[in-house]
Structure 1
Amino acid sequence: MATVAFIGLGVMGYPMAGHLKRAGHEVRVFNRTRKKAEAWVSEHDGTLAETPAKAAEGAEFVFTCVGNDNDLRSVTLAEDGLFESLGENAVYIDNTTASADIARELDEAAREKGAAFLDAPVSGGQAGAENGKLTVMVGGEQAAFDRAKPVIDAYARMVGLMGPAGAGQLTKMINQICIAGLVQGLAEGLHFGKRAGLDIENVVSVISQGAAGSWQMENRWKTMDAGEYDHGFAVDWMRKDLSIVLAEARNNGAQVPVAALVDQFYAEVQAMGGNRWDTSALLARLER
């Protein structure tokens, strides 16, 4: 069992840190909103740290799960950030969905400390985090991955090394590109079926067993059909992720017209008041 620091106890980080504690690791936590950290410590009998630096001090593995590139810099490179105390030979694992540029920046900073870095964004949403069944896409060196994987396994069902630092974030971008297109296609299909007067449950029971089947169809068609969106992965988060995708595409020359179009559709959902609705709320836009 390892000494672990976990920085960032949001919707995803809170249960992920809990899985690490239940796996038997010694877990020290930090959250910018102290009440969240106090609640986690009370629930899981861990240790509360006053700063990211205090959390990382003496830890064999340090995890972060925050909002974006700027949030990462504030808990890593700023005063009292984790790099102030990150130990030589420690492994720093970042579960934030962020840019590939910040991943490479943090990798370089870790190397300067004699430590290792893995960018390790996750997919599976709040339910995946709570159930310990996330998919983790990792960028970094094989040796660090081999050390960290048994620890990451506490909250994951799939952990894969995708390449050097930044490759995890690039893979997560592909994940979000695919999801955007799938959800829009599902929304249009359900909308079409309703307008055609078909029994949607009957339709899905058939087409889900063929080439049209997907995780989104299996897990979201019922709530979409019922017009229920107060759950799941928020539209605001998806727009953040797609902004990262579009910025990277501008840099590498990739053409992602569907992702760009769906991003605009999500902006319309936000204008409807659906900032915190699940990404499947693309159907609500068609039915307004």
Structure 2
Amino acid sequence: MAKTAFLGLGVMGYPMAGHLVAQGHEVTVYNRTTAKAEKWAAEHDGAFAPTPKEAAEGCDFVMSCVGNDDDLRSVCLGPEGAFAGMKPGAVFVDHTTVSAKVTRELAAIAAEAGIGYVDAPVSGGQAGAENGVLSVMCGGSEADFAKAEPMMAAYGKIVKRLGEVGMGQTAKMCNQICIAGLVQGLSEALLLAENSGLDGEALVDVISGGAAGSWQMVNRHKTMLAGEYEHGFAVDWMRKDLAICLEAGEETGTPLPVTALVDQFYKDVQTMGGGRWDTSSLMARLKAFM
């Protein structure tokens, strides 16, 4: 059993923190909306704290899953931030999807205080978090990763170290680039089938087991064909991630033409009022532009 804090109880963090309790760890949570932290504590027989610092005090591990670079800085830094409450030798594990730049910045600050740091963004969505089968992409020292890996196994089906601090975030950007291209291609294929009089379900039955198959095809084709998008990973969050991808592309001199194009397609979806729709709503954009 490890004394642990979990910062951020969104659709991902809420169940992830619960899996830690289920594994026997002593968990204290923090959330900007205190009512959600109180609800979690009541459901899981855990504790909640009014600040990240108080949640982190005396903990062996502090996990975070917040919104963006600024949110992460706010829970880590300052007199009420988690770093102010963490003891030397403890490890901070960040599951937020943020830039590698802020990751390295915060890891350097943590190191000065004797705190380990692992960047560990996740893939698998809300369902993956609830079922404890996330893919966790990690960056950090071998020693820090070795300490944190058993903790992350509580909600990770795959937990893999990919290099030093920042490499986890870089891997997550590669993941998002792949998803963006896949969803656009799937949207175009399903719409062509529909407009040609070909049964979309029958099409997917045939091609999903071959080279064209993907998680997106298997798990999203039914809702795409039905025009249902009120679920899943929001377009607003995807655009945040793609902005990080494009920034990384500029920094490394890597051309990302398809990513840039699909990012603009998601901007169109936002203009349509679909900022909270699932990323598969690219099909709705295609239909709107017919």
For the superposition of Structure 1 and Structure 2, which TM-score range results when normalised by the shorter chain?
over 0.9
Q: In the alignment, which residue of structure 2 is the partner of 1:184?
A: 184
Q: In the alignment, which residue of structure 2 is the partner of 1:46?
A: 46
SS in 2 for 1:92: strand
SS in 1 for 2:162: strand
Letter matched to residue 243 of structure 1 = A
Cα deviation for residue 107 of structure 1 reads 1.1
Normalising to structure 2: TM-score of the pair?
0.98
Does residue 68 (structure 1) correspond to residue 71 (structure 2)? The answer is: no
Cα distance in 2 for residues equivalent to 1:178 and 1:78: 36
Q: In the alignment, which residue of structure 2 is the partner of 1:5?
A: 5
Q: In the alignment, which residue of structure 2 is the partner of 1:80?
A: 80
Cα deviation for residue 79 of structure 1 reads 2.6
Summarize deviations over 1:82-133 as a string: whole Å, max 9, x none. 1111111101000000000111111111111112100000001111111111
Q: In the alignment, which residue of structure 2 is the partner of 1:153?
A: 153
Cα distance in 2 for residues equivalent to 1:158 and 1:267: 32
Q: Which runs of 5+ in 2 are unaligned?
A: none
SS in 2 for 1:154: coil
Cα distance in 1 for residues equivalent to 2:109 and 2:56: 15
Cα distance in 2 for residues equivalent to 1:72 and 1:266: 24
Equivalences for 1:1-288 in 2 at 5 Å? 1-288=1-288
Cα distance in 2 for residues equivalent to 1:79 and 1:89: 19
Cα distance in 2 for residues equivalent to 1:72 and 1:110: 13
Q: Which runs of 5+ in 1 are unaligned?
A: none
Cα deviation for residue 78 of structure 1 reads 2.1
Normalising to structure 1: TM-score of the pair?
0.99
Cα distance in 2 for residues equivalent to 1:106 and 1:22: 29
Cα distance in 1 for residues equivalent to 2:120 and 2:254: 23
Cα distance in 1 for residues equivalent to 2:11 and 2:120: 17
SS in 2 for 1:147: helix
Cα distance in 2 for residues equivalent to 1:78 and 1:177: 34
Summarize deviations over 1:35-56 as a string: whole Å, max 9, x none. 1101100111101111100011
Letter matched to residue 20 of structure 1 = L
**What's the C-alpha RMSD, in Å, of the aligned pairs?**
0.7
Letter matched to residue 31 of structure 1 = N
SS in 2 for 1:5: strand
Cα distance in 2 for residues equivalent to 1:127 and 1:79: 35
SS in 2 for 1:283: helix
Which consecutive aligned stretches of 4+ in structure 1 deviate over 2 angstroms post-superposition?
none
Cα distance in 1 for residues equivalent to 2:140 and 2:10: 25
SS in 1 for 2:154: helix
Instruction: Count how many residue pairs are aligned between Structure 1 and Structure 2.
Output: 288
SS in 2 for 1:163: coil
Letter matched to residue 196 of structure 2 = A
Cα distance in 2 for residues equivalent to 1:150 and 1:179: 28
SS in 1 for 2:67: coil
Identity level (%): 61
Cα distance in 1 for residues equivalent to 2:182 and 2:245: 16
SS in 1 for 2:161: strand
